[in-house]
Structure 1
């Protein structure tokens, strides 16, 4: 899995050509979003603590707290490759990664989960080191496993498939049963991390089958006769959230050629066995998820904005271009943040039937 920024940039051109689906009917439509702030660049994650609203801005490496006047007050600054953020009581955890910017695409050299306890002490769980030692998706095979003979002939017998590479990239984070879960977009794995920094594998997401077209085959450097072959794409876990009964939900944004098409999905994870079950497919760039009761809200960066999934059925919830992250409060207020793929400012909005209160008091 390439870096988050590389993936977003690679898919942006195709994504901007996509149109939003028809809005929900007036009878079922939620209230219009209320914009709170335009002071964000890449708001990869939103975390809620009561009426306190925190946002992880990967563009500035800052965890900030939304103020009632729309300002974003910095809480933690200078975080390289900041992505996911989660809060549990007086503890906070966030993902960070260090890239080698001299390569194209950039190579991630370090990636981990930072866990700040109630007394302010931070523990670093080194996900990259764990990936090097264990490579949980080593048994997964990606690429073309059963190619058309003409493809084999045209490529001179060059390998057309590969197994899981050593690649860690902490993306989103969730609190779960007194521990932390990390959707690792590089390792294609959900990691389980204790407060002391001990890491284990909870689940490995499966390869995603994509039928090649002549165009996507060409972009992969394959002959036109590869059209119709099945290419098994890396799943790339992005969003992760925990619902009632400690039920775990994960979104995937598959790598190319799945990243520029509607190949994203929502999965449910069985924590006892590591088995994953697909609940919804056909999502366009799902990058974040949040759950309230039976409803799972998914931020689709390239598609419908925020989509609501209930009992396996997906429906448009809020049309937001560039929806990058989503969270839902205990009272049902939905928060979402957007990223402008053309380089403009990102936003944070709330969706609620009544007045929304924001607690700006900062607890460090």
Structure 2
């Protein structure tokens, strides 16, 4: 069923078990504004990439250069709980940047791509009404595709989108993902998932679909009845399955991004492979040189490509962040 953007936003308010931070009043534009080709569109930045490539880090880097708020688009990070398993950005890493749709859903409910589109519409409008830049970030590319291209391209009709793609060579990324899973285990992954274990759980619904949950089922279900060696073998197998499934996810995400590019999406590709091949200071320098710095330049050009537009009421975001962006030019 085709539906227009305004009813879609209103529908989002009725979604159960969703708590959106700082959602304010609706957008001031009406439908005539949306379809007016002369009206300057509001601007939205969308950060994409496979799991583990640094999307969250980039979104924070941008939000500290341009006054912005972040909307999570990772479908497993929508849910409360399992912060280690779902690799949620920590409060310290958020650096006081407001985040939306992060850890707000009951773990047992389903949240579809259409639900995401509805609620994200509200969040984007609310952020724009505070004269801030919405940055949508996450690895659930099918959800982003539904948001951007769904409902007869209503989102594109209303918003001008800048797509940033953080890319890493798969061979390098797979090695990093394996090491990251080991670090997650050290940080308490097994204990976290154990507390969440339910022998009657449905692994096709809610947060239990997340990689790192169903893989441990046999270990939790049968481990207490086994000898130490067999139990250790089950644990090792579960951890290896988490690594394998995460690598497979990265491949699927990359394939999806390439399909979107072939579909005509204008994606700014940022190759971060060198960042992952270096360590310490050299890695940080490579990140600034290859990813963070170029992304800031792309966003600055995206926001200020027409200086005359800054004075119009339709460009609320550039008006609010012009000073910050100019200052960032010497960052």
User: Smaller-chain TM-score range?
Assistant: under 0.3
With structure 2 as the length reference, what TM-score do the two structures score? 0.23
Which protein, 1 or 2, shows the higher relative CO under an 8 Å CA cutoff with sep ≥ 6? 2
Higher relative strand content: 1
With structure 1 as the length reference, what TM-score do the two structures score? 0.22
